[in-house]
Structure 1
Amino acid sequence: MPKERRGFEQESGSYAYGYDALGRLSEIQKDGKVQTQYGYDAFGNRIWKEESRERTSYQYNDLNQMVSERQGEIRREYGYDKRGNLTGILENGAWKKQYVYGAINRLEEAVDAAGKQARYQYNGLGHRVGKQEGIIPKEKLEKLDPQNRICMEVGNSRQIAYTLDLTRQYYNLLERTEESQSQRYFWDGNVAAYEENGGRNYYLQDELGSSLRIEDSAGNLRESYGYGAFGEDLYQNQGKKQPFGYTGYQRDEIAVLWSSIFVTLMAN
């Protein structure tokens, strides 16, 4: 299968995909050379990935939740509450991410080890309509254990508000406002364009609805994106200029989650 991306020679080439007897992706070849291989357990969980001769292994509990991931010298551990929500991530024993959920199972707060914190706001229909982001002061962060960090007041906070199309349950963001700056979004099934500071920018997407390029009204390239086979952010620029990315979902930089406002997924 040929793939050609102008300006992205590292992505361009001839690809071949291999699948196991159950139809699961097991191998990716580029220009006749094996690029990535995957292995699965009897329950369909991916238990290893090998890329550029480096292996990543995954372990799961009895509920099929991924509880650990090892890549070379890096080991990540994942914790869950009794409802199955991801509550925390440790990296080599050090706390990296923490998530807090409300009584009706919605993500309400997220905080990372650098002190970046987000608090999420919802309307009566369960749609996310706002987010407050801020930084926990370093001197306070260093004195706290992971369970207490999430309760700290946010310093230097900023408020982000979402205006939604309430006739749609998801893929429904019409406007994103941060302080005095706004982005307005236009849809034709998937997001087609956004308007900011009087200028309009257009999305170029693949067959999955993933944003690949953004161009302005004059056809000038504003931003380019790339994804791995499972949605990995190849260029680490998702969510910087605008929120939409892999399959049309939105990336939350602090939580490192993909969301369609109503549905939330973890990008692995």
Structure 2
Amino acid sequence: MTAPLLQVQDLTVTFSAHHAAPQRVVHGISFDLFAGQTLALVGESGCGKSVTGLTLMGLLPEAHSSGHVLLGGTNILHTTPRQRRQRGGPALTMVFQDPMSALNPVLTIGSQLVEAILAASSLSQREAKTRALDLLLQVRIPEPERRFNEYPHKLSGGMRQRVVIALALAARPAVLIADEPTTALDATIQAQILQLLVSLKDELDMSLLLITHDLGVIAETADRVAVMRHGVIVEEQDVFSFFDGPRHPYSRQLLLARPQRRARHGTRPRLHSVNDARNTEEAA
């Protein structure tokens, strides 16, 4: 059997603060991501999804982490993105939740792309500009030459998110982490961004770790689902089995919490809360 491209083994993340007891927010989680696969990490806000993604990226130096994160067989847990580039091997990049905060407002789109490309390659300045324009085309941004010289505030939210995706692709990643990539976008633009990520994954032969709380997103994009609650992965299944027969009470409550259509006689179905999972677990 083919080895996983990304292996997370017994990952624990703890934060410490002055005059306060250390707080463990991720409790020994493990999962595998295979080449060409999309794994959705799902759970309500505060369950540790984004902390997991940031830890995989090496972007939480203030936190204490233990366990193993193997990318292409090499443990990268306590390395920075710069150290990983220097070592070579498969690249791991991330698309962040808020495209406006992920982009520098005082630099043009082109200068930010060129900087990212130069940091991840040995291209010349001219070659990096050509690659930047190619990336803008790749993420379906029209008139890339004009957008190249514009500042982030000139672009819509959907366009900014496409630029953030282009920045993540600059390193030619083997694994792309997308952390709530459709947050704050309207429904139409959300669908476009999701379709773009799926298309790019296939075109570039990447693996995708999708962090989300949107079950509709999971149904449309994921191959496997890992359900996270209170810093623990409570269930992992292929996407069809998850929706057909979730095994954990919390997973069942997540599915019940989806808004339902009105019945024919006009009554509004009860909207369940994920907090009901505690009562379900006690009764099980």
TM-score normalised over the length of structure 1 = 0.27
Q: Name the structure where helix makes up a greater proportion of residues.
A: 2
Q: Name the structure where strand makes up a greater proportion of residues.
A: 1
TM-score normalised over the length of structure 2 = 0.26
